[in-house]
Structure 1
């Protein structure tokens, strides 16, 4: 195993030494309210040699507002990343400092920026975060749901079968769950959540930080009824209550109780493709005993 430690001097995005590689700056931008733009983000965009944007029209408005020249703006998005990504990396290797932004919020979260980060790291380029607003975390902290443990799911699969399989795999997740959804699919998504996870508490957040910010709190069924009376508008961030510990214990205890010890271990070997040792360890966790007890009983 090899390890790489990145130590970057990040005082200024405009400083580069002749012959050295440039840096990739991931710049957080406002999710609605322009006052959430940080001083550091403005300076980074001002000093960067190139600004790569998911939607250049949207970013041009931002640059104009902060009196930043749009001349260094280039396009980088899902449909051109295969060609644009390597070219941007080449420019950084030549010594250019590149600032990457998304349409709103932090780049590289549920957008093609993550692919550019991978390319940069493969080329041994320093990747520098310039923090800013994030819709999912903003929704989480005002949701009233637990924040000690949470999982971000991005956008769920559009295919109903794939969506159902993913939700089923997460039904025992006890942390708060965060996801994004479009206004065209949010009702179908809530119906799927209700079907697989039951009627948990949920918060629907839209227009965060904007003038007409809206947070709808209640059960999944309550929020479904609300959306049927108030047609969805804009992109939503969903914050969903995790599974209760007692609920998880009951569900996990039920499936293996009729199995013999040998069948229990074999289930993990065959269904999850685990080694004998790993299967015995999971069986021991299910039954609340030590792995040695399982081993001794199967001798």
Structure 2
């Protein structure tokens, strides 16, 4: 196994590992002793899912979240510099995509350390695949503003990019506010604009549907507490 910073995808929910991750990932994981993780508890749980016999207490975890200082992040790579492979684990999906893991990858690149992204589920890519929208040009915007007027303005700006640039627009919301997000989309976007709602991707109850704003009116399922991605296109 080549010494590198391995970016280790995890499941997007309570999904069997073997349905979404290649067996090769397990081989790599079992060769790593140092993990940079978004959440230590969920990372430990994921590793036990990969192999129930793994000795968790023999592993070292370095927390990486919005509160971690740049100095701490840079120091995390000492084992890698010393010749030991390291792994980056996100809370869900692929690390370094809409995720603080990008910070440590940037440092590794600046230090000319080898970075190896492994194959795994990305809700962003999977939702684009399932939407029927433009997969040649798309943009992910993360969370939209919470304040109603700012959110309405942002939705209209994104919708305009759909028509002027033929670009698919993606964004997310905190699960308990999903229903309010859909209400805002239906209130602010044109009737002919297409909205894809992609929920519970790769998990039980997966739901990926594309309709026009007009067709969604009065027919939106309850999306509260469900991880969703919303996509707009023409």
Name the TM-score, length of structure 1 as normaliser.
0.65
Q: Choose from 74, 78, 83 the match for 1:90.
A: 78
Check 1:176–1:48 CA distance in 2 against 1; reply closer, same or farther (3 A cut). same
Name the TM-score, length of structure 2 as normaliser.
0.82
Q: Choose from 225, 228, 232 the match for 1:236.
A: 228
Give the whole-Å Cα distance in 1 for the aligned partners of 2:204 and 2:225: 14
In terms of fraction of residues, the more strand-rich structure is 2
After TM superposition, list the pairs within 5 Å mapping 1:101-112 onto structure 2: 101-112=89-100
Tell me the number of residue pairs that the alignment of Structure 1 and Structure 2 aligns. Answer: 222
Aligned to 2:119: 131
Aligned to 1:70: 56
Contact 1:59 1:103 in 2 (8 A): yes
Aligned to 1:218: 211
Give the whole-Å Cα distance in 2 for the aligned partners of 1:87 and 1:224: 52
Corresponding residue SS for 1:198: coil
Check 1:73–1:211 CA distance in 2 against 1; reply closer, same or farther (3 A cut). farther
Give the whole-Å Cα distance in 2 for the aligned partners of 1:201 and 1:53: 37
Larger radius of gyration: 1
Contact 1:110 1:154 in 2 (8 A): yes
In terms of fraction of residues, the more helix-rich structure is 1
Contact 2:194 2:212 in 1 (8 A): yes
Aligned to 2:145: 157
After TM superposition, list the pairs within 5 Å mapping 1:143-182 onto structure 2: 143-160=131-148, 162-170=150-158, 171-173=160-162, 174-182=166-174
Aligned to 2:6: 25
Give the whole-Å Cα distance in 2 for the aligned partners of 1:223 and 1:81: 44
Task: Structure 2 unaligned segments of length 5 or more: list them.
Answer: none
Check 1:162–1:44 CA distance in 2 against 1; reply closer, same or farther (3 A cut). farther
Higher relative contact order (CA 8 A, sep 6+): 2
Cα deviation for residue 128 of structure 1 reads 1.4
Check 1:161–1:43 CA distance in 2 against 1; reply closer, same or farther (3 A cut). farther
Aligned to 1:183: 175
